[in-house]
Amino acid sequence: MVDMFASCTLLSVCMCLPDYVCVSRRGLRLGMAKVTQVDFPPKQSVSYSKETQTPTCTQTHTQAKPGSPSEEEEEEEMAEPKPAEESQEEKADQEEKQEEVAPKDLTEEEKMQLLHSEEFMAFFDRGSRIVERALSERVDVCFDYSGRDLEDKEGEMQAGAKMSLNRAFSDERWSKNRVVTCLDWSPQYPELLVASYNNNEDAPHEPDGVALVWNMKFKKTTPEYTFHCQSAVMSAAFARFHPNLVVGGTYSGQIVLWDNRSNKRTPVQRTPLSASAHTHPVYCVNVVGTQNAHNLISISTDGKMCSWSLDMLSQPQDSLELVFKQSKAVAVTSMAFPLGDVNNFVVGSEDGSVYTACRHGSKAGISDVFEGHHGPVTGLSCHSAGGPVDFSHLFISASFDWTVKLWTTKSTRPLYSFEDSCDYVYDVMWSPTHPALFACVDGSGRLDLWNLNNDTEVPSASVCVNGSPALNRVRWAHSGREIATGDSDGQVLVYDVGEQICVPKADEWTRLVHTLVEINENRDEGEELAAQRLVA
Amino acid sequence: IATFLGRKLQPRPQNEVEETLKRIQGQKGVQGIIIVNAEGIPIKTTLDNSSTVQYAGLIHQLVMKARSTVRDIDPQNDLTFLRVRSKKNEIMIAPDKDYFLIVIQNPSD
C-alpha cells in the first residue's frame, strides 16, 4: 500500500517538482534533480512514516486544511524530498557547490543591504559587546616569568629587523606641503635633530623658510623649537661649537642664525644681501675648525665661497670664487670636508663633476676635476669613520644619473659605481662609525645601506618608505646606530639600524683595505678592456 | 528594493555600526576588524584587501571546524567565542548563526 502511494506521489512529484524548482532554484539544478529522483522512492517510503512527520511543521498544515488532502500530501512530499534532495546534492556535488560559492562575491549594494539588516544588527550588537570585553582584558595567560619568552623575542627581532622605523616627525602647521631640504644631528645632544624646510606653496602668507628642531628622547610629537625666516631654507646645521645656535642657508643667499635662548622664532643674525656675501641660493653650510679657531663656511650656487665668524655675520671674513680653469664658475650643490681637514674640501656641481678645492694657500680655489657623473651631483660625503687605517681619501657622490660613485682623492676617475637605484639618488652619507658602510636615498622612497665589505653589487639592507615619497636627505646620527631621512612630504623619519649591520667588527678596516684593492684591480682591468676595444 | 530575503529592511543609522567599529579599532593594540558572513565572504573590514581575504577564508574554515567539534561532542552545545592566541598576536572571533566578527589584536602594543 505504501509502495502504491509512493509511486503515485512519485508521479505527482515528477510533474510538480519542476514548478517548485523553477521558483526556488535556478534551471541548472533542474537537471540534477531529475537524476537523483531515481533513488527517491525507497527513501521516500522510509521517510513517509508518522514518526518522522511529527516534528516537521507540515503536520499542522495537513490538519488545518483537510479539504485538499492531495495537495497537502503533495506539499508534504515537497517538504520531505526537498531536504533529502538537498543532502543528496550536497554529498554528490559538494565540489561543484564549492566552485560556485568561492568566486561568488557580494556586490557593494548587497553588502550594504546585509549591513543594514536586522539580523546583522543583532549579531553585531552581541558580537561587539563580547569582543570589547575580551579586548579590555589585559591578562596574558601565557606570560613566562622565567624570561625565556623575552630572550626568544629579542633574538628574532635582531635577526629580522635590519632597519626599523623608530620615529616619524611631522608638524601639521609647519612641515606639511613643504620639502625637507636639510637635516643635521646636534653634536652636543644626540637626541636633537634639526630639519629645514622650503616654502609651502599652499600657504603664501606663512614664512617661506622653516627650521624645526626635533627631539628623539621624548614621545612628544611636536618640535622642540620652531624657527622661521623669510626665504626658503635650503641648508641647516647646528653650530658645532655653540650648542644654542642653528645656522641656515637660504634660497635668497642670506645666511641666518637662530638662537634657542631668545624667545623669538626669527633669526637673531642675518648676513647682508649684498654682493660681498651671497646672492644665490646657499646649499652648503658647515662649521669647520676647532673650538678656538672655527669658521662658518658657506657656498652658493654661483660658486662663491665665504667664510664667516659666528659672532659677526655682517660681513664675511674671507670670500673666494670657485672657478674651474679661470673661466667656468662652479655651480656648487654639495660640499664635504674630509675628516680632520679644514683646508681641503670637495664640492659637487650641477654639471655632474666633483671638484677638490682648498681654502688657503697659493692654490686657493679649485684644484682637480673628477668627472664621471652624467647628471647634477646631489650629495657628497667624505669618509669619516676613524680607525686603525686611514680612509679619509675616500669620498662618495650621489647624482641624478641614478648612481652613487666611490672616489679617491688620489685619482680623478671613479673607483666604483653603485648602480642599483632606479631613480634620482638624492643624498648619500658614510657611516660615522663603520668604515665600509654608507647610506643613500633616492626619489622612489628607498633608503639603502651598502656595506662594501659584504657586497658591492647590491645594498646590504634596504627599506622603502610608506607611500614612496622622494627622499631628499639622509643623515646618520653621530652614534652610527640611527639614520634620519627627510622626504618630499615634509616628513622626517628616523630608522634604527640593526646591530649586525651598523656596528663594525674589529677587522672591518683591514677587510676594507682588501676590498679597495679588489675594486682597484677591477677598475684597471675594466679600463684595459675598454682601451683594447677602442684600439681594435 | 525594500525587502531582502522576504524580510523588511529596518533603516538603522549606519553610524552605530561605524562608531562601534571605530571604538574597537581604537582600543589598544587592535590591528584590524573583519566581519564575515556565513559563506566566508568579508562584508566589512578595516584591513587591506589581500589580508582580509586571507583572514576571512582561513578563519571561516577554522570556525566551521571548531563549531562542528563542539557540536559533535555535545549536539546541544554550540560555539560562542573563539580566541586564537599566538606568539605575535591574538585573534578573537565572535561567531553567530550568519556572521562572524573577527578582531586581531597585538596585546603587547
Q: How many angstroms from the chain centroid is the CA of residue A185?
A: 21
Residue A43 has pLDDT above 90, yes or no: no
What's the pLDDT score for residue A528? 86
Between A49 and A347, the higher pLDDT residue: A347
Question: What value does the mean pLDDT take over residues A100-129?
Answer: 76
How confident is the model at residue A380, as a pLDDT? 92
Q: Does the distance separating the beta carbons of B92 and A132 come in below 8 Å? A: no
The pLDDT value given to residue A327: 77
The residue behind cell 672657478 is A323
Each residue's pLDDT tens digit, A516-529: 899 888 888 888 88
The string of pLDDT tens digits covering residues A238-277 is 998 888 999 999 999 999 999 988 888 899 999 988 888 8
User: Which residues share a beta bridge with A347?
Assistant: A335, A355
What is the pLDDT, as a whole number, of residue A68? 43
Q: What is the pLDDT of residue B19?
A: 85
Q: Flag whether residue B22 sits within 8 Å of chain A, measured between CB atoms.
A: no
pLDDT band at A502 (very low <50, low <70, confident <90, very high): confident
Alpha helices by DSSP H, A93-147: 94-101, 108-116, 118-136
Q: Identify the three-state secondary structure at position A157.
A: helix
Beta-carbon separation of B98 and A135 below 8 A = no
The answer to whether A121 contacts B9, with C-beta atoms less than 8 Å apart, is no
Contact A304, A278 (CB under 8 A): yes
- Whether chain B has a CB inside 8 Å of the CB on A139: the answer is no
Strand (E) or helix (H) holding A3 = helix A2-24
Looking at this predicted complex, what is its ipTM?
A: 0.75
Optimal mutation site among A114, A121, A142, A149, interface B, most CBs of chain B within 10 A: A114
Task: Give me the percent of chain A exceeding a pLDDT of 90.
Answer: 28
3-state secondary structure of A102: coil
Q: What span, in angstroms and rounded, lies between the C-alpha atoms of A229 and A211?
A: 8
What is the count of residue pairs from A and B with beta carbons less than 8 Å apart? 87
Q: Cα separation of A447 and A425, whole Å?
A: 10
For residue A485, pLDDT beyond 90: yes
- The answer for A 348-407 residues in CB contact with B (under 8 A) is none
CA dist., res. A296 & res. A280, Å (int): 17
Report chain A residues whose CB lies below 8 A from the CB of B38.
none
- Chain B residues with CB-CB distance to A104 below 8 A: 39, 41
Alpha carbons within 13 A on the beta-carbon side of A257:
24
Which DSSP string do the residues of chain B spell out, in sequence order?
A: --EETTEEPP---HHHHHHHHHHHHHSTTEEEEEEEETTS-EEEESS-HHHHHHHHHHHHHHHHHHHHHHHHH-TT-----EEEE-SS-EEEEEE-SSEEEEEEE-TT-
Dist CA B19 CA A26 (whole Å):
40
B107: left (phi over 0), alpha (psi -120 to 50) or beta: alpha
Is residue B23 within 8 angstroms of chain A, CB to CB?
Answer: yes
DSSP, collapsed to helix, strand or coil, labels residue A186 as coil
> CB–CB of A261/A244 below 8 Å?
yes
For residue A48, what pLDDT band results from cuts at 50, 70 and 90?
low
Cβ contact, residue pair B7, A115, below 8 Å: no
pLDDT tens digits for range A358-413: 888 888 888 889 998 999 999 999 998 888 888 888 999 999 999 999 999 888 88
Question: Between A2-24 and A27-36, two packed helices, what is the crossing angle to 10 degrees?
Answer: 160
pLDDT band (50, 70, 90) for residue A35:
low
How many CA atoms, within 13 angstroms, populate the side-chain half-sphere of residue A30? Answer: 15
Cβ–Cβ contact A132 with B under 8 A: yes
Q: For residue A421, count other CB atoms closer than 10 A to its CB.
A: 21
Chain-chain contact of A131 with B7 (C-beta, under 8 angstroms): no
Of the pLDDT bands very low, low, confident and very high (cuts 50, 70, 90), residue A81 is very low
- Count of positions (residues) in chain B: 109
Selected residue of A115, A131, A133, A142 to mutate for chain B interface (largest B Cβ count, 10 A): A131
Mean predicted confidence (pLDDT) in A109-133: 83
- Residues of chain B contacting residue A126, judged by C-beta atoms under 8 Å apart: 94, 96
Q: pTM for the whole thing?
A: 0.59
Q: How confident is the model at residue A127 (pLDDT cuts 50, 70, 90)?
A: confident
Burial class (CB in 10 A: 0-12, 13-18, 19+), B10: exposed
Give exposure, B15-24, as e/b (b: 16+ Cβ within 10 Å).
eebeebbeeb
Q: Is B84 on the interface with A (CB under 8 A)?
A: no
B27/A126 Cβ within 8 A: no
Hey, which residues does B28 pair with through a beta bridge? none
Please report, rounded to a whole number, the percentage of residues in chain B having pLDDT higher than 90.
41
Looking at the complex, does the CB of residue A506 fall below 8 Å from at least one CB of chain B? no
Average pLDDT, chain A: 79
Per-residue pLDDT of chain B (109 residues; tens, 9 = 90+): 455 565 554 545 567 788 888 888 888 889 999 999 888 889 889 989 898 999 999 999 999 999 999 999 999 999 989 999 888 889 999 988 888 899 999 876 5
A124–B105 C-beta distance less than 8 A: no
- pLDDT in the model for residue A196: 93
A116 in contact with B, Cβ within 8 Å: yes
B81 touches chain A (CB under 8 A): yes
